[in-house]
Amino acid sequence: MAEFLKLKKSNCKNCYKCIRHCPVKSIRFSGNQANIVGDECILCGQCFVVCPQNAKEIADSTERVKFFISSGEKVYASIAPSFVANYDGAGIEALTKALKELGFAGAEETAVGATIVKTEYERLIREDKRDVLISSCCNSINLLIQKYYPEALEYLADVLSPMQAHCQDLKKRYPGCKTVFIGPCVSKKEEAARYADYTDDVLTFEELTNWLNEAGVKIDKSMDSNNQSRARLFPTSGGVLRTMAERDPNYTYLVFDGMDNAKEALEEVIEGKLHNCFIEMSACAGSCANGPVMEKYKKSPVASAMSINKYAGKEDFVVSQPDKAELHKKMTMLDTKAAVPTESEIAAILRRMGKVRPEQELNCGSCGYNTCREKAIAIYRGKADISMCLPFLKDKAESFSDNIISNTPNAIIALNENLEIQQINKAALKLMNIGHAQDVMGEQVIRILDPGVFMDVMETNRPVRDERKYLTEYDKYVEQTVIYDSEYRIIICLMRDVTDEEKEKVRKENVGRKTADIADKVVENQMRIVQEIASLLGETAAETKVALMKLKESIADE
């Protein structure tokens, strides 16, 4: 199966937003990049919509459609009824005119196929008396059931979608033609490829807009009216039900749109909580009017629904209803091939995540998964990494930094801009004879240290490095470094206790002075003796004096 939703790896910033919004978690993170797992994806397009880095892109079919046209094929477009919301002020006649300028042989509304489909739904309820019947218009819902809720397959209407019904109708009326669906849904690309007999290709509204702009074709701002167009309501929430004039009083007619609502409804159906009901179900909240490719950056669900409601007529299109066999669509379970870990394997992964006890499973969702257990299963399947757990990373980082700060022999003090103590380690407590950290936490630093250096560093933003200082109140010498982090607005002070070094230095200086004094006395005595000897020998003592002075300087240096 072709890849319809792609990833531009260079743009992925590893924010996990796509996995948080993916209703089936069909995204794998590897090498700090997000990758879509094709077998598991239901092509709802949510990752495309929410990605802040535009790292997701939809496979473009424009060139293939252009090839159909340039090859001399008669290409007819089936236009999703939500077009009226995407192309403001343009009706089907204006859009058909623009498409013909691009080379299409003609264009019609998919609402024609919607009329055929809703009529078949009415027949199924009337004749087959099914207990529960779920609409099959939304391919993402179909894929959701086929891949994740196969127990509900028996309730899914085995009927062509409006796109397929309309394209089938076009191929009947225009033998040998190619059909192209144009709409707000990426999932329709998969549906067209999987059931290739009906639709030859699919364009999104974005693809069509880009093609029109490239060709310099403008869509006229002109609206037409057609009272026989009630099926135009299909892309709105509850739109399928609103077109069904024939209602069975013994049935309940329900609407569930949005993936969360759809999943909950499917679970209730499987559990046997719903009976005698027809369920209209769509993946997008607000239905197709809020589809993922409704020109991504100008979506307005309320305005879209209003435009569609206003454009719709009161009666049905006049259609040639096919035989029920022609509308039958077989949908079977699709295996996602996902490995299932044992309880012990899940527990082992949870332990690696630092989740040893149930209360440590925060289920915060920061990784994109609803629970820590879901995350552990994703790790087992190779879709996630332990490092995606924010609390785990936070605890690991804090444990690492706390270990360093607690065990370093250097005193560390952190202050806020109000010069209040925010952190102090054991070495600092020992250096300043403080019993417990809580005795000074939150207090002004003036309580334990002269604040002058901290104020200067914060005001000038110039650090002090390796400055020797005597702390009079503690009778300690320290080598002090003070840094101001303007980004995090914190002052960090590191002090190395050099008291022993300073005392040793003083001791050596005292020894040196004493040695020099002794040498001075020796020189004086020797000078006196030398002078006496020199006078007796009649020699000058100058040279001897110079030699002895050098000896004195040498001793003093020691």
- CA 490 to centroid of chain Cα atoms: 30
121 and 87 fall within a common domain: yes
354 and 451 fall within a common domain: no
488 and 513 fall within a common domain: no
Answer yes or no: is 460 within a domain.
yes
Of residues 461 and 488, more confidence is placed in 461
User: With 80 as the cut, is the pLDDT of residue 13 above it?
Assistant: no
Of residues 179 and 28, more confidence is placed in 179
| Residue range(s) defining the domain that contains residue 539 | 501-557
Answer yes or no: is 13 within a domain.
no
Residues 6+ apart with CB under 8 A from 506: none
User: With 50 as the cut, is the pLDDT of residue 202 above it?
Assistant: yes
Answer yes or no: is 34 within a domain.
no
Q: How many CA atoms within 13 Å lie on the side-chain side of 155?
A: 26
Which range in 322-326, 355-359, 380-384, 547-551 is most confidently predicted, on average pLDDT? 322-326
Place of tokens 């609502």: 261
Residue 322: band (very low, low, confident or very high) from pLDDT cuts 50, 70, 90? very high
Dist CA 156 CA 501 (whole Å): 84
User: With 70 as the cut, is the pLDDT of residue 288 above it?
Assistant: yes
Domain with residue 401: its CATH number is 1.10.15
Helix (H) or strand (E) holding 302: helix 301-311
Least confident of 23-37, 209-223, 509-523: 509-523
Dist CA 545 CA 72 (whole Å): 119
pLDDT of residue 299: 61
Answer yes or no: is 228 within a domain.
yes
pLDDT > 70: what percent of the chain?
A: 91
Answer yes or no: is 542 within a domain.
yes
Of residues 507 and 242, more confidence is placed in 242
Answer yes or no: is 323 within a domain.
no
Which range in 165-179, 240-254, 279-293 is most confidently predicted, on average pLDDT? 165-179
pLDDT of residue 1: 44
467-514 pLDDT tens trace: 999 999 999 999 999 999 988 889 999 999 999 888 888 777 777 677
Least confident of 4-13, 227-236, 310-319, 539-548: 539-548
Strands 201-204 and 178-183: parallel
Range 8-23 average pLDDT? 80
Answer yes or no: is 380 within a domain.
yes
Residues 6+ apart with CB under 8 A from 443: 420, 421
Residue 516: band (very low, low, confident or very high) from pLDDT cuts 50, 70, 90? low
Which among 296, 311, 326 is the end of a domain?
311
User: With 50 as the cut, is the pLDDT of residue 555 above it?
Assistant: yes
Residues 6+ apart with CB under 8 A from 520: 552
Range 264-282 average pLDDT? 96
72 and 193 fall within a common domain: yes
Number of independent structural domains in the chain: 4
Structure-block tokens of residue 494 = 């590191």
pLDDT of residue 298: 54
User: With 80 as the cut, is the pLDDT of residue 224 above it?
Assistant: yes
pLDDT of residue 231: 95
| Helical segments of 103-161, H only | 111-123, 139-148
Dist CA 253 CA 541 (whole Å): 128
User: With 60 as the cut, is the pLDDT of residue 83 above it?
Assistant: yes
Of residues 295 and 236, more confidence is placed in 236
Helix (H) or strand (E) holding 16: none
Q: Mean pLDDT over all residues of the chain? A: 89
324-351 burial string, b = 16+ CB within 10 Å, else e?
Answer: eeebebebeebebebeeeeeeebeebbe
386 and 472 fall within a common domain: no
488 and 524 fall within a common domain: no
196-212 burial string, b = 16+ CB within 10 Å, else e?
Answer: eebbbbbbbbbbbbebb
Range 395-423 average pLDDT? 83
420 and 375 fall within a common domain: no
402 and 414 fall within a common domain: no
Range 320-344 average pLDDT? 92
Long-range CB pairs of 466-474 (<8 Å, 24+ gap) are 468/498, 468/502, 470/502, 471/432, 474/431, 474/432, 474/433
Answer yes or no: is 42 within a domain.
no
Least confident of 144-158, 217-231, 356-370: 356-370
Domain with residue 489: its CATH number is 3.30.450.20
pLDDT of residue 214: 97
pLDDT of residue 164: 98
Dist CA 86 CA 108 (whole Å): 16
Triad 486, 489, 490: Cα angle to 5°: 110
437 and 553 fall within a common domain: no
pLDDT of residue 507: 79
173 and 72 fall within a common domain: yes
User: With 70 as the cut, is the pLDDT of residue 296 above it?
Assistant: no
Residue 519: band (very low, low, confident or very high) from pLDDT cuts 50, 70, 90? low
428 and 493 fall within a common domain: yes
pLDDT of residue 48: 87
pLDDT of residue 261: 96
Domain with residue 283: its CATH number is 3.40.50
Residue 122: band (very low, low, confident or very high) from pLDDT cuts 50, 70, 90? very high
279 and 192 fall within a common domain: yes
* Contact in structure between 230 and 312 (CB atoms under 8 Å): yes
